[in-house]
Structure 1
Amino acid sequence: MRLERDTKTNIKIPRPGQDGDVVILGPTEQSVKTARRRINMIVVSTRMKQKFTHFISIPMNDPDVQKRFEEFRERVLQECPCRGLERSLFILPSKLHLTVGVMCLMDNEERLFASKLLTEAKEKIILPILQGHLPLKIRLKGLSYMNDDPSQIDVLYGLVQEEGSSQGVIQQIADGLVQHFYRAGFMKDSEYERGNVKLHVTLINTRYREDPDDTNLENEETKSQNTKKRRETFDGRDVLQKFADYDFGTVEFTSVHLSQPRVALGADGYYPPTCIVSWQ
């Protein structure tokens, strides 16, 4: 009603549970455009307050990398009896991935549009940057963490680097993808305005900590929702000292996924995709 009053328009909205367009009627083209622009601003603002439903990922779950990660996990648990560190904090090996950016897609129409954006990005961003660098291998080697105190870590992640002379290619692609989705209104300002995407592969996350009263904790994202109020850091100083240069191996970069984090895992144990673009 306030929008109608401010823009001198009549805005018809489908009833709850009904599909259909929002119809704007007004005395001038400018009044209709103004109302439409303000409605879009409300939608974008609301989207950014929602929990993310999808994220752009680069799978890092090559079988050899999974094996080396499992060896890393067992060695850490045996050699680093740190405060707050336990098996449940480690990501499932089959879900190892490089995170590019997250977004909230509210309905099937938006999922289709986001899939179209990713398909467009393959031709406009990914392939032009990859030209002359294929096949491109990404090495997962070394550790870092998200905060400033190694004795109070919430997220421990692996560092990524390209093999050979292709330095900076993955960074260019990640930055280009975030800009592409930001301009379409699907990613937050902060993800675009911070300059460069922080390339990381999560290895340990305290949001995964098991609840002894929860009998269904296979999905790390479910754990994340259930542990928000009781998140407990771990002391990672020994881990960082002993495994600072741990080499998890390489993955050939062949695809980018629009992944769904909060649904049942696929047959390969990875996040089910809404869309995949590949160039094999």
Structure 2
Amino acid sequence: MTDILIPSLCWIDGRCYRVNDSNTRDVTAFQEHDLYENEHNDDGIVDEGDEDDFEIITVDDSRFSTCLHVSQHYIGSIIGKKGATKSRIERDTRTDIKIPKIGQTGDITIFGSNVSNIKAARRRINIIVTSSRMKQRSTHFISLPMNNSDITRNFELFKETVLRDCSSKGLDESLFIRPQKLHLTLGVMCLMDNEERLLASKLLTEAKEKVVKPLLGNCPSLRIRLRGLSYMNDDPSAIDVLYGCVEEENGPPGIIQRLADGLVDHFYKAGYMDREYGRDNVKLHVTLINSKYRSRTSTSVNDDVTGSKRQARLTFDGSEILNKYADYDFGVTELKEIHLSQRHSMGNDGYYQPTCVISCDI
């Protein structure tokens, strides 16, 4: 009942939409909850204070148009079976939508007799793209590097002593993250082509002015301490992820949390990032040990659906580690940069390949 009375909201392209069923990502589950425009505004005049950041041009006395980039990966969802989805959008918004054919490059172009119809069609397309994007595996993430020499040295010592002194079931060396990859994860996203990567880079650059500077203006050299251990699931004897906790060393309490939440909110409202498990706050964590890193020599199991072999994810017993090293201090790093990092791709320094980096210098 609570979900019906207080439904989930989803931000797409600067607008807020109501999700009727928060357990599904079906496009039809979205209903527009427009905070910026009068629903009956069809006279072609853009409302004062409209926050759309795209160009609508005049084609002739009776037609307007706009272009938008959509990755080829999502074109099929916009067209729909036998063109049904595209036709429905055109009918509902009284527009004409031109989509590049398979193998062709170029943007989608929307034609209409007034600005409001064009904007409505564009929002419908953005809903489809965002809904499809959230179903894909993430390709990039926003990260704060936590791999300075002090922390990596202490992490190596932690790893050495744990492997020597803790006889934990299911634990082996392959589960530990590489020291050069230590990072604080803020949020993940799926970027399917270079244009989307450029747009996400632009969002991160904008976030420096809109999020980072307002928060760090009075704390220009924020230092972050990595201290203490915690884990993702409920049973310390069957852990998938053991992580380090972070705290402000010389900044106002909670500033790291506000920075993380602000950055995720910035990307969420642009339709590029979802909230993890529907949380309002980012779960701050620096992964130290992860069962998915387990060596490929581990036992594989049959997939019941495909019949193929897949890697079994075996938990490890972290009880002894937590008892002995619950307050382990890995050291301090200064927050200098925020990265848009690419998953599964490493730079020359051993850290994740950056797509965009912003400096935290104020």
Q: Give me the TM-score of the superposition, normalised by structure 2.
A: 0.70
Q: 1:184 aligns with which of 244, 267, 270?
A: 270
Aligned to 1:217: none
Letter in 1 for 2:107: D
Describe the SS at the equivalent of 1:272: strand
CA spacing shift, 1:34–1:239, aligned 2, 3 Å:
same
Matches of residues 148-159 of structure 1 in structure 2 within 5 Å?
148-159=234-245
Contact 2:175 2:290 in 1 (8 A): yes
Displacement of 1:73: 0.4
Paired with 2:113 and 2:219, the residues of 1 have a C-alpha distance of 56
Letter in 2 for 1:186: Y
Describe the SS at the equivalent of 1:196: coil
Paired with 1:177 and 1:142, the residues of 2 have a C-alpha distance of 24
Structure holding more helix per residue: 1
Tell me the C-alpha RMSD between the 2 structures: 1.9
Structure holding more strand per residue: 2
Displacement of 1:279: 3.3
Q: 2:318 aligns with which of 236, 246, 259?
A: 236
Q: 2:152 aligns with which of 54, 66, 70?
A: 66
Q: Which moved more, 1:57-66 or 1:127-136?
A: 127-136
* Structure 2 runs not aligned, ≥5 long: 1-82, 299-308
1:279 aligns to 2:279 (yes or no): no
1:33 aligns to 2:119 (yes or no): yes
Displacement of 1:25: 3.3
Aligned to 1:245: 327
Paired with 2:208 and 2:188, the residues of 1 have a C-alpha distance of 18
Letter in 2 for 1:102: V
CA spacing shift, 1:4–1:260, aligned 2, 3 Å:
closer
Paired with 2:337 and 2:166, the residues of 1 have a C-alpha distance of 35
Matches of residues 97-108 of structure 1 in structure 2 within 5 Å?
97-108=183-194
Displacement of 1:173: 0.6
Letter in 1 for 2:285: H
1:194 aligns to 2:276 (yes or no): no
Letter in 2 for 1:86: D
1:3 aligns to 2:85 (yes or no): yes
CA spacing shift, 1:111–1:256, aligned 2, 3 Å:
same
Q: Which moved more, 1:17-26 or 1:66-75?
A: 17-26
Aligned to 1:259: 341
Paired with 1:97 and 1:30, the residues of 2 have a C-alpha distance of 44
Aligned to 1:124: 210
Contact 1:154 1:206 in 2 (8 A): yes
Displacement of 1:11: 2.5
Paired with 2:325 and 2:277, the residues of 1 have a C-alpha distance of 32
Paired with 2:210 and 2:251, the residues of 1 have a C-alpha distance of 22
- Count of matched residue pairs: 266
Contact 1:178 1:191 in 2 (8 A): no
User: What is the CA deviation profile of residues 135-157 of structure 1, one whole-angstrom value per residue up to 9, with x for unaligned ones?
Assistant: 21100000000011101100000
Displacement of 1:261: 1.3
Paired with 1:262 and 1:4, the residues of 2 have a C-alpha distance of 35
Displacement of 1:207: 0.6
Paired with 1:271 and 1:144, the residues of 2 have a C-alpha distance of 24
Displacement of 1:35: 2.7
Aligned to 2:129: 43
Displacement of 1:125: 0.9
CA spacing shift, 1:203–1:228, aligned 2, 3 Å:
farther
Aligned to 2:23: none
Letter in 2 for 1:177: L
Aligned to 1:208: 293
CA spacing shift, 1:165–1:106, aligned 2, 3 Å:
closer
Letter in 2 for 1:11: I
Q: Which has the higher contact order (CA 8 A, sep 6+)?
A: 1
